[in-house]
């Protein structure tokens, strides 16, 4: 793997460890290789995306509609993907293969 791509993977893994999205797994039953896909910053993506004719609901409406529920899914603005809590028994089967000295890890939140 190219050194600049490997460095970006290490930075992303560290960032996700720091915020608690990833944890170390000692014995894994299954691994998924990390496949980095370089892409542009996406600044022009917003210009190219069609706009919805539907306004976003007011925050009070969102809070009222989720009251009484113990779990709900939300878009994580920090990582840019949907976060779903994973049961600890699934950690050993949802593991990413490490490259060189990137720690073997799993996401306790999956997209």
> At 85, is the secondary structure helix, strand, or coil?
strand
Residue with tokens 């840019």: 80
Please give the pLDDT value at position 72: 63
* Assigned token pair, 76: 């994580």
The stretches in the chain having pLDDT less than 50 are 102-111
Other CB atoms within 10 A of residue 83 CB: 17
pLDDT one-digit tens code per residue, 32-55: 777 777 766 666 666 777 777 777
The whole-number pLDDT of residue 108 equals 46
Rounded distance between C-alpha atoms, residue 81 and residue 104, angstroms: 21
Query: What pLDDT is stored for residue 41 in this prediction?
Result: 67
pLDDT > 90: percent of the chain: 0
pLDDT of residue 105: 47
């Amino acid at each position: 793997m190219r050194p600049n791509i490997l460095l970006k993977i290490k930075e992303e893994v560290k960032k996700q460890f720091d915020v608690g999205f990833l944890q170390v797994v000692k014995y894994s039953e299954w691994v998924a290789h990390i496949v980095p896909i370089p892409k542009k910053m996406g600044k022009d993506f917003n210009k190219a995306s069609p706009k919805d004719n539907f306004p976003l609901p007011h925050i009070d409406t969102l809070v009222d509609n989720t009251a009484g529920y113990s779990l709900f899914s939300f878009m994580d603005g920090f990582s840019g993907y949907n976060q779903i809590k994973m049961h600890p028994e699934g950690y050993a089967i949802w593991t990413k293969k490490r490259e060189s000295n990137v720690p073997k890890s799993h996401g306790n939140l999956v997209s």
